[in-house]
Amino acid sequence: MTPQLSWYLALSAMLFTIGVVGVLIKRNVISMFMCIELMLNAVNLTFVAFSSFFHDVSGQLFVFIVMTVAAAEAAVGLGIIITIFRNRESLDVDDASVLKL
Amino acid sequence: MQTNLLSLIIFAPLAGALINWLIGRRVRNERFIGVVACASVGVSTIVALYLTLRSDGALRATQPVMDHLWTWVQVGAFRADFGLAMDRLSGIYALFVTFVGFLIHVFATGYMHGDRGYYRFFAYLNLFMFAMLTLVLADNLLLMFVGWEGVGLCSYLLIGFYLDKEEAAPAAKKAFIANRVGDWGFVLGILLLFWLTSHAGKPSISFFDKTGVTSALATVASLPMDGFTWHAIFAGGLTSVAILLFIGATGKSAQIPLFVWLPDAMAGPTPVSALIHAATMVTAGVYMVVRCSAIFTHAPFAMFIVAIIGAATALFAATIGLAQNDIKKVLAYSTISQLGYMFMACGVGAFVAAIFHVMMHAFFKAQLFLGSGSVIHGMHHEQDMRRMGGLRKYMPVTWLTMCAGWLAICGIPIWAGFFSKDEILWKTWSAGSPGIPPGLNKALWFIGAVTALLTAIYMTRLMVMTFWGGERFRAEHVEHVDEHDHGHLAHTPHESPLSMTIPLIVLALLSTVGGLVGVPYALSSLTGGHPENYFERTLQPVVSEVPGQSAGSGEATTLHWLSPPPQPVDGKPAVTVVKADHGETIPSAEEISQERIFTLISVLIALTGISIGWFMFKNQPLRRLPRLLENRYYVDEIYDATIIRPILVISREGLWKVFDIGVIDGLLHSLGRTVVNFGQTLRYMQIGFVRVYAAIILAGAIVIIGYFAYNGVHVLQFLTR
Amino acid sequence: MSLIALQATNPDINLTLIAPELIIGIAGVLVMMIDAFARRGQRWLTGGLSIVALIAAGGASIWLGAGWRGARSAFNGMIVLDDLRLSFTLIFVVVSILTILIAAAWIDIEKLPAGEFHALLLFATCGMMLMASAGDLVIVFLGLEILSIATYVMAGFRRTDVRSNESSLKYFILGSFASAFLLYGIALIYGATATATLPGTTNIATIAGRLNHSLYPPLLLAGAAMLLVGFGFKIATAPFHVWTPDVYEGAPTPVTAFMAAGPKAAGFASFMRVFVFGFPIATAAASTAGYTHKSWLGTLAIMAALTMSVGNIVAIVQNNVKRMLAYSSIAHAGYALVGFVAAGAATDAEQRSAALTSVAFYLLTYAVMNMGAFAIVTLIARGNDRRTAVEDYNGIGFLSPVLAFSLSLFLLSLLGMPLTAGFMGKVMVFTTAVRQGYLWLVVIGVLNTAVSAYYYLRLIIVMFFRERNTPWDAPRLPVSVALALVITIAGVFYLGLFPGRVLNAFGAHPSISLSIR
């Protein structure tokens, strides 16, 4: 039984959902950040699946761009997290709620 | 005719405002500031006179005088020019706005003497003139809206002029908000009109035909008339446009339900009250309705509403005016009432009569306000009439000139108000348009007549309390007046300086003879002279006719000349005859005799009102009112048995409290509170937690994806079919 | 050099067409180098270089609009040249120049590294320009991320301040979250646009042609919905606006000014291009294209109404000026959306072009008046954004007349007072919406402007009528901020009085041609 396209799509949709739920329930900033990375990689999986199904290389190229962007985002994100940790000594996002109402 | 002179009318005051703001504030020389301010308005006045009265001027030519400055906006079919146009209507308006404005500027140089914000005052006042003249001379609705908002802004600045007066800021804000509420109606009206004309194939918001644009009003005139039904209001047709525009007018012209701001606006300096809140800005609503008369005549239900609101406001404000003790408040309510009159005239299709009354009202109400300003000035900023009395002796010029204004507003023959008010009453009685169901015209006439009576009473009361009777400004005479002592009781009132009395005299003269420009045929034919109504003759071509209106009371369908055709006349003030653009409608003999009878009735009403006022307040100007209100069971006076007392009680205790304070303010407040509460609730969505925000975003995303998926199901059904 | 060589062999690689982006990108790298090697305190050098680069980029895009006669797309359709792009590029240039001018004073007060700030700003600008010039979803995503990453850092630029940190963190997490949605949407569309013989595509113009041949219409719709979420976040429409108030309040004021004007406009640029041209109005309503169009247009109209109302109503109860202006910026995005909806609903090219022009013009007017208002808020706030409460503005009217009167002018313009830019902008978007028959949306919009009078006026009244209890030391008006004020005040009047020239420039050629199916 050869794997169908829909299998890959379902898997990536699940991964994306797990990422979304993770962002909502995790309180640690780094965990949240990892969940966002998971969402991005779920999308990458979709791209690769389509790309291979269509025998078209552009989807895979897109994945490279996404990975580059994700790396840049990771660098900046970790930088932000470090500054926050320096000022607050806490990685709990719910502590970061000075700005409200 | 195309001339750049027209823009001088609006830009001269703007230049004056800039000079005073930039240079005047540094110089701080009152003479310099005053001269700049008055001269800039003077230039406008002279140019306006020149452009209206020259041989091919606005009042004589059939085509408007145009000045296309630049194409302001053009996106697709939507075009609005920064262009001015002076036709007969805007010509007359520009004339009296500049002239009355000039007089009030002169008056203000004396009145504001010694004020710290002298330069600021005149800069604002000149800016106001700029905005007002833009409003009047605009050749399209959008530019008119610029002036419309501009006068609102200046009014706001000037009401709040006395920064240290604590009621000034809330009053200014109230005025601005009430106007903004009206403005959304105006804006939507413009947009809806644009939509309607686009549908008719000629997208336009211009008043006049120009190269590349057809007049929106002409397009509207070619559309079929809306039906006389309630749901025409919401149908998105011409009735909706008319109602939306009228909402704008109720805000600017202080009609029910948006009138609440005008009495409070009296917190501003008195020249401001005279110029903005009596003579010019508040009549902008009437001007707009008349300017757009083509829209209104095609929307009978809107006409009906205009007439009803106008009549109701007229009566309602007049009853309140009876019971006020602040001299400016009486005049403020009187202004609201007179504006109601004008709208009533518009509602029954008597647009020309409305404009005639606007002009006469500008003369006599400006006179009365300036007179009251002179009194206030002479009394060292005392505004309570209970502390006045007997000023006749001290301020003879003010007294005499105010008498002219008083007689004019009461409607005593030959004074200005007589002709205009009588005209409105007669036109109301004889109205027969699709917007006025049978019988309503009689009812409206009755309301108008009662209002005229009340007007005569409260104005007489004002005059009597101020100028006759004992000198209550001395400490020992003050009874039943609020406790806090002002500490200037030793002052003796004094007559005002020349800069103030000269405008008073000029305006008094205008209030006396100004009405002669519009003597109706029924009266002028009595003298056998030149029979037609010059004013009506001039304006008739530019306003839209109400269908069925010209037929008058019925049988006069065949019109005939009773006397020789009209001739141009020499030696008459201001407005002169133009050659008829279309046939003058001379009423039948029967109509004329009827009109004469009604004229007699209105004179009698005015005289009755004055005598009631005189005998009620002459001898006991002060005592009556407070005791009446303090003790409601006080019944031993003669006029208590008459209708006056109930009206006083109703007006103060009933209408004023219930409507002004209770219902209207309450309604506005609760509306405001609801919005604020809603805001507070939404605010609590922002609890500051990132994860909650992410959840809200996700929820939104799910709703949207769900909606798309729902549509996706349709697509699948479509594809599988 | 190899790129240029490549250009010679492959005409589709056209560096001229991306000249503005190249100039800004190179200038960003240069500024970083200068900052690394020059002595500290060289902010005039980096600032000056940035402004020169921005002006050069503006000039290049004007030249592209007026003088370029070559191809109007390059890099295999990834970059397009049309008025939509050029008008937005000019908005970005204006916003960035004003940001540099306003930030100069702030950088001095806070003793922050100027070079880094200028470099980040240039990179953000480069990202915005790419978003406007993108003809392909890949470039949209790339531009969006270049912009976002730079902005995340700028929001947290005051490193030691807790609020700035928090703003940055919230923006970063929520922004990446929304970006992931956008990306997923792109992936789904890539899959859904495949036909029996052709692979999927991410080119916007090609997508439009594939809609009715899609093998998986539900995927297409889901992808469009995801894109809507991602863009909706970027331009802060309700209900995706929740991040805006917190981020705008916490970020340093000049950065807030930039974020409210620049990235929002960039979001609009690619949002409009993707939806108006990628999922255009269809002749047959009962088709995949028809349903897609109907779905997004309906959603967007409701979002516009919600956005205006939420922004204005919540702004009423704010006591912090920055937060109030943040809500006001939400409301203004709602007004601009009204024009966007009109563009989406337009059936003929001329009306669509007029609607797109009106949105671009609206965002330009908003940028000008908003930057002006924030310039004054920056001055009054002082170091660390201490004074941003409404009470801090008590009675300053005649103590600092220049500041108070300019701020009043900007507030009146935001409110939509005639003769100012704000009025013209509103007239534009509302009339285009009326022409497309969206009367109900316009009614809500106009009602909202009436509501907004309340809070804009409140600040004016506070400045002129409220007693001041605390001493007031008037802030010095630095030359750069004064220059920014002169530009913005002149802009407010120029755009309000003579909008014709700008409108013509924005709408001279129709945007990429679109055959309506």
DSSP symbol at B45: H
Query: How many domains does chain C divide into?
Result: 1
Give the pLDDT of residue C514: 46
Residue B86: strand, helix, or coil: strand
State pLDDT tens for residues C240-258.
Answer: 988 998 899 989 999 999 9
> Is C229 within 8 Å of B160 when comparing Cβ atoms?
no
Fill in the amino acid letter for B293. S
CB < 8 Å to B697, chain C: 174, 177-178, 229, 233, 239-240, 242
Model's pTM, two decimal places?
0.85
Q: Are C326 and C487 in contact (CB under 8 A)?
A: no
Cα–Cα distance, C423 to C415 (Å, whole number) = 8
**Placement of tokens 């916003």 in the chain:** C95
Which run of H or of E encompasses B72? strand B65-75
What residue type is B528 in one-letter code? G
Report yes or no on C172 lying in a domain. Answer: yes
pLDDT of residue C507: 73
Tell me which chain C residues have a C-beta less than 8 angstroms from the C-beta of B168: 465
Give me the amino acid identity at B622: L
Contacting A with CB below 8 Å, chain C residues are 138, 141-142, 145, 149, 152-153, 156, 159-163, 165-170, 172-173, 176-177, 180, 183-184, 186-188, 190-191, 194, 199-200, 202, 245-247, 249-250
Q: How confident is the model at residue B488 (pLDDT cuts 50, 70, 90)?
A: very low
DSSP string, B469-532: S--TTSGGG--SS-S---S-TTPPP-PPPHHHHHHHHHHHHHHHHGGGGG--HHHHGGGTS--S
Distance (Å, whole) CA C276 – CA B90:
45
Residue C170 makes CB contacts below 8 A (sequence gap 6+) with A96, A99, B690, B693, C243, C246, C247, C250
Structure tokens at C229: 């979420």
With an 8 Å Cβ cutoff, the interface of chain A facing chain B consists of 20, 23-25, 27, 32, 93-94, 96-101
- Please give the pLDDT value at position B558: 31
| Amino acid found at B579 | K
Position B635 pLDDT exceeds 60:
no
> What's the pLDDT score for residue C58?
94
User: Domain limits at C496?
Assistant: 12-514
CA atoms within 13 A on the CB side of C119: 15
Residue B655: its pLDDT value, please?
46
- The Cα B38–Cα B107 span in angstroms is 10
In this structure, how many other beta carbons lie within 10 angstroms of the beta carbon of residue B442?
Answer: 12
Q: Is some CB atom of chain B closer than 8 A to the CB atom of C233?
A: yes
| Nearest-CA distance C326 → chain A (Å) | 12
**What is d(CA A85, CA B1) in angstroms, rounded to the nearest whole number?**
75
Query: Which residue has tokens 């020249």?
Result: B271
Residue C376 CA to chain centroid, in angstroms? 20
C343 within some domain = yes
Say yes or no: A43 contacts chain C, CB-CB below 8 A: yes
Q: Which of C181, C223, C175, C217 is nearest to C202 (CA)?
A: C223
- Residue B68, SS3 per DSSP: strand
Which of B680, B685, B689 best probes binding to A when mutated, by most A CB atoms within 10 angstroms? B689
Domain assignment present for residue C3? The answer is no
Query: Mean per-residue pLDDT for C149-168?
Result: 90
Please check whether residue A23 is in contact with residue C177, taking contact to mean a CB–CB distance below 8 angstroms: yes
pLDDT tens digits, one per residue of B85-116: 888 888 888 988 999 999 999 988 888 888 88
For residues B83 and B44, the answer to whether their CB atoms sit within 8 Å is: no
Predicted local distance difference test score (pLDDT) of residue B516: 80
Collapsing DSSP to helix, strand or coil, B323 comes out as coil
C185 shares contact with chain B (CB less than 8 Å): no
What single string gives the DSSP state of each residue in C333-383?
HHHHHHHHHHHHH--SHHHHHHHHHHHHHHHHHHHHHHHHHHHHHHHHHTG
Closest C-chain CA to B70: C498
Q: Is C346 within 8 Å of C436 (Cβ atoms)?
A: yes
B231, containing H or E segment: none
Q: Is the peptide bond before B257 cis (omega within 30 degrees of 0)?
A: yes
Continuous segment of H or E residues that includes residue B255 = none
- Give the pair of three-digit tokens for residue B165: 């007066």
B66 strand-pairing partners: B2, B85
B202-251, pLDDT tens digit by residue?
A: 888 888 888 778 888 888 888 888 777 777 777 778 889 999 999 999 98
Query: In degrees, to the nearest 5, what angle opens at C-alpha B448 toward C-alphas B447 and B454?
Result: 90
Cα distance between residue C420 and residue B375, in whole Å: 40
Is B555 exposed, middle or buried (CB count within 10 Å of its CB: 0-12, 13-18, 19+)?
A: exposed
* Residues C230, C184: Cα–Cα separation, whole Å: 9
Quote the minimal CA–CA distance from C124 to chain B in Å.
24
Q: How far apart are CA B112 and CA B34, in angstroms?
A: 10
Q: Residue C415: which of C374, C451, C461, C367 has the closest Cα?
A: C451
Average pLDDT, chain A: 88
Chain C residues touching residue A83 (CB < 8 angstroms): 156, 159, 165, 168
At B80 the three-state DSSP class reads strand
* Of B269-278, B649-658, C127-136, highest mean pLDDT: C127-136
The tens digit of pLDDT for each residue in B375-384 reads: 888 887 788 8
pLDDT of residue B531: 61
Percentages (nearest 5) of helix, strand, coil residues in chain A: 80, 0, 20
Cβ–Cβ of C165/A81 closer than 8 Å? no
Instruction: Report if residue C73 sits inside a domain.
Output: yes
What is the C-alpha to C-alpha distance for residues C62 and C87, in angstroms, rounded to an integer? 9
DSSP annotation of C511 reads S
Is the minimum CB–CB distance between A38 and chain C shorter than 8 Å? no
Token pair for B91: 């010509």
Q: Is residue C253 part of a domain?
A: yes
Region at C75 (left for phi over 0; alpha for psi -120 to 50; beta for the rest): left
At residue C389, the 3 state secondary structure works out as strand
Tell me what pLDDT residue B670 has.
65
C-alpha B700, offset from chain centre: 49
Instruction: For residue C261, give the amino acid letter.
Output: A
Region for residue C384 given its phi and psi (left: phi exceeds 0; alpha: psi -120 to 50; beta: otherwise): left
C7 within some domain: no
Interface test with B, best of C307, C317, C335, C459 (most B CBs within 10 A): C317
Q: What confidence score (pLDDT) does residue B691 get? A: 84
Question: Half-sphere exposure (CA, 13 Å, Cβ side) for A80?
Answer: 31
| Closest C-alpha to C43, from C377, C480, C371 | C480
Chain B residue with the nearest C-alpha to that of C291: B711
Complete domains list, chain A, with CATH: 5-88 (1.10.287.3510)
The gap between the terminal CA atoms of chain A, to the nearest Å, is 56
Task: For C37-89, write each residue's pLDDT tens digit.
Answer: 877 656 678 888 999 999 999 999 999 888 888 788 888 888 988 888 999 99
Task: Assess contact for C506 and C357: CB atoms under 8 A.
Answer: yes
For B361-412, what is each residue's pLDDT tens digit? 998 999 998 899 888 888 877 888 777 877 888 888 888 898 999 999 888 8
In chain C, which residues have their Cβ closer than 8 Å to the Cβ of A54? 194, 199-200
